[in-house]
Chain A
Amino acid sequence: MRSLHSPAILLLLVTSAHVQAERPASDTGRKIYQTHCAACHGGRGEGQPGWERLNASGEMPAPPHDRKGHTWKHSDAMLYQMVAQGWRDPFNKTQRLTMPAFQGALQPWEIRAVIDYLKTQWTPRQRAFQREESRSAPYPTNSEWNLR
């Protein structure tokens, strides 16, 4: 009988564990969302009131991430970049980032997990659209992201 400890089997087990770590359950994404995102984007991803126009401070409020929003129009690569690096609406009246950067607070797999959780808020049609957009712009690999 072949030993279970052959190098090939071990490699398979290690790889499998790596994939498990890279692809956490969506509940992990939900918890990350509630901890880091819900304060601005709402507990159910509903966004802030009046998110379509500048608020009294001259800034765009946080938009919804659910099916009523436009998050589903972005590729995985773009969503990852938005969460990691943040973004400032160029028409804002302040210099603050409209969306803060989370790359210091979240690990790459956590960013992917929270984006994967957002996808559960969309319609099948929206998910199909976003999947198509992501075909040419998928999540960056860890090594790609570390090179930036």
Chain B
Amino acid sequence: MKTKPGLAVMPRISRPGCRQSLEGTPSATVSRREALTFFASSALVLPGTLKAATEPRADQIVALAAEGSGSALYKATGRAVYRSADGGRSWQHLGMPLQPGARIQSISVSAAGAEALYVAGLGIDIVRRRQDRAGWSRVGHALPRRISAVAAHARQEHTVYAYARGRGIYRSDDGGERWRLMDAGPRGGIAQFVHSDMPGSMQTGWLFTAGPQGVRLAMDCFCGWRPAGDLAGGTVAVVYDRRNSSRLATATTSGVFESSDRGQSWARLANAPVNVRALVFTADGSLLAASGARIYRWATARWEAVDA
């Protein structure tokens, strides 16, 4: 079978195994056209081209992350990363060095210990910042130059995953120094993903992905991808609550949805901000959503601007 460029390509190492995924029904197949439409409509990077479909505003928030313990929050625009120690009311610019033309697409914070912050995106690959050292270092020298998403392990301090368009999901067990291609990822590609310590995995947890096919999940041994619920259309972000791993939230191009049953069913959160690009559960279980340059908190059945 001829491989179509730009879509999730089966890496040779994974071809015989996990491609026998749980999403192999014809109706679940995402065409290249559908995938391109999804990534274009969600203002993400077109798979295979590394060109922005829609150039985001300079102050538009593209990613959120929270420490596993403690209250620190992180937000990223295309060109900068910020840290907040007061729940998002004020932000400290972290001064990450970027090459001209580079654009941040994803951030993630390690689960424990050194609280390493990983940043990935166009022209960046992956850089790491350790809170105790306050310096940036490029990691993942061996990775392909198409890293668009990064996800730290929910519990293991030094384990981190990276997604490269057209290649698949890589894993590092030493904080990003060495990487290993693990799987092609779900068909259609990944916009963003997260590692969860939800019980029941054969290995150490689960990976939830957002992308053109909605939310997908797989055990972190990569034994096949399966749908998480039946949300129509693509999703741009998915997060889980570290206090309660059955609780998830996802953003689609039409709204924000929450699940309390491990992603098996989803309920729309009313009056969500438009064009949500990033979500995060804080350490106290609050759900935050980023829309444009603003961050909103879901509280008592309504959304409140955090930095109002």
Q: Which residues in chain A, 36-90, are within 8 Å of chain B measured between CB atoms?
A: 51-53, 63-64, 67-70, 72-74, 78, 82, 87-90
| Listed A/B pairs (15) with beta-carbon separation below 8 Å | A63-B223, A64-B20, A69-B17, A70-B20, A72-B16, A73-B223, A78-B221, A87-B202, A89-B200, A90-B200, A91-B200, A91-B264, A126-B17, A129-B13, A132-B180
B95 to chain A, nearest CB (A): 36
Contact of A125 with B by CB under 8 A: yes
- Chain A residues with CB under 8 A of B17: 67-70, 72-73, 126
Tell me if A94 counts as interface (CB < 8 A to partner B).
no
Instruction: Determine if A123 is an interface residue (Cβ-Cβ < 8 Å).
Output: yes
Instruction: Please report the total number of A residues contacting B with Cβ < 8 Å.
Output: 25
Bound-state Cα–Cα, A114 to B202, Å: 19
Is the contact region of chain A dominated by helix, strand, or loop, or is it mixed? loop
Give every chain A residue within 8 A of B202 (Cβ-Cβ).
74, 78, 82, 87
Q: How far is the CB of B193 from chain A (nearest CB, A)?
A: 18
Q: Which residue of B lies closest to A137 (CB)?
A: B203
Instruction: Provide the residues of chain B in CB contact with A74, threshold 8 Å.
Output: 202-203, 221
Give Cα A126–Cα B17 distance, bound, in whole angstroms: 9
Kindly state the separation between the CA atoms of A136 and B13 in the bound complex, as whole angstroms: 20
Q: Which A residues are in CB contact (< 8 Å) with B221?
A: 70, 73-74, 78
Task: Across the interface, name the chain A residue whose C-beta is closest to B183.
Answer: A73
A72 to B224, CA, bound (A): 13
B93 to chain A, nearest CB (A): 39
CB distance from B24 to the nearest CB of A (A): 6
| Given contact pairs A70-B224, A73-B221, A88 touches B22 in the complex (Cβ within 8 A) | no
Chain B nearest Cβ from A67, distance in angstroms: 5
Q: Hey, what's the 0/1 contact readout for A102-145 against B, CB within 8 Å counting as 1?
A: 00000000000000000000010110010010001000000000
Q: Report B16 CB to chain A, min CB distance, Å.
A: 5
Chain B hits for A90, CB < 8 A: 198-200, 262
Q: Which residues of B contact A51 (CB under 8 A)?
A: 20
Known: A64-B20, A68-B16, A70-B223. 4 other contacts (CB 8 A): A69-B17, A73-B18, A88-B200, A90-B200
Contacts A70-B222, A73-B221, A74-B221: A53 and B22 contacting too (C-beta < 8 A)? yes
Q: Are A125 and B222 within 8 A (Cβ)?
A: no
Q: For B37, what are the chain A residues with a Cβ–Cβ distance below 8 Å?
A: none
Once A and B bind, how many residue pairs between them come within 8 Å at the CB atom?
A: 58
Q: Is B4 an interface residue (CB 8 A)?
A: no
Q: Select one of A72, A78, A89 contacting B203, CB under 8 A.
A: A78
Across the A-B interface, give the 4 residue pairs with the lowest CB-CB distance, nearest first: A90-B200, A70-B223, A70-B17, A67-B16
Q: B-contacting residues of A (Cβ < 8 Å)?
A: 51-53, 63-64, 67-70, 72-74, 78, 82, 87-91, 123, 125-126, 129, 132, 136
Residue B60 lies at the interface, judged by CB distance under 8 Å to chain A: no
Kindly provide the distance from the CB of A51 to the nearest chain B CB, expressed in whole angstroms. 8
**Separation of A132 and B178 alpha carbons in the complex (Å):** 13
A79 to chain B, nearest CB (A): 9
CB of B12 closer than 8 Å to a CB of A: yes
Chain B residues in 8 Å Cβ range of A88: 200
Question: Which residues of chain A are within 8 angstroms of B262 by Cβ–Cβ distance?
Answer: 90-91
The CA of A59 and the CA of B228, in the complex, are separated in Å by: 16
Chain A positions within 8 Å of B22 at CB level = 52-53
B20 and A69 contact, CB distance less than 8 A: yes
Chain A positions within 8 Å of B180 at CB level: 132
List residues of chain B with CB within 8 A of the CB of A72.
16-17
Residue interface bits B156-193, CB-to-A below 8 A is 1, else 0: 00000000000000000100000010000000000000
Question: Counting CB contacts under 8 A, is B21 at the interface?
Answer: yes
In contact, B199 and A125 (Cβ under 8 angstroms): no
A92 smallest CB distance to B (angstroms): 10
B14-33 Cβ-contact flags toward A at 8 Å (1 or 0): 00111011101100000000
Q: Is A52 in contact with B264, judged by CB distance below 8 angstroms?
A: no
Residues of A within 8 A of B21 (CB): 52
